[in-house]
Amino acid sequence: MGYLPEIYKDFKHKFPEVAKAYDELAVSCHRWGPLDEKTRRLVKLGIAVGLSSEGGVRSHARQALEEGISADEIRHAVLLSLTTAGFPTMIAAMKWVDEVIAKSG
């Protein structure tokens, strides 16, 4: 994992045992089941969009790009949230994704 937000670095510093357990749980959940890597990443992005989690959207968009998922595929995943999460949620997430894509290029 490349980039880590300062708030997460601080959490890991203050609560190293909890952070380690959380990281292990995240890896276990990510690897369990039949979904392939790309699908898992886009599902996680969609969940972050639905929660209006700016940090989550940015993180999963960044990881998706690092994993070779195209900008258009990421944008499509965000666009799919329009009729489920609503226009304000989708358009905010699209802005965050576009900023991540712009920084990566």
* CATH label of the domain that carries residue 50: 1.20.1290.10
pLDDT at residue 1 in the model: 52
Looking at residue 105, what is its pLDDT?
76
- Residue pair 55/5 in contact (Cβ under 8 Å)? The answer is yes
- What number of other Cβ atoms are within 10 A of residue 105's Cβ? 7
Q: How far is CA 89 from the centre of its chain?
A: 15
| pLDDT(36) > 90 | yes
Q: What pLDDT score was predicted for residue 32? A: 93
Number of separate domains in the chain? 2
pLDDT of 58 strictly over 70: yes
C-alpha 85/C-alpha 79 separation (Å) is 10
Summarize the confidence of residues 18-46 as an average pLDDT.
94
Residues 53 and 92 reside in one and the same domain:
yes
Q: Domain range holding 74?
A: 36-104
Same domain, 40 and 27: no
pTM of the model: 0.86
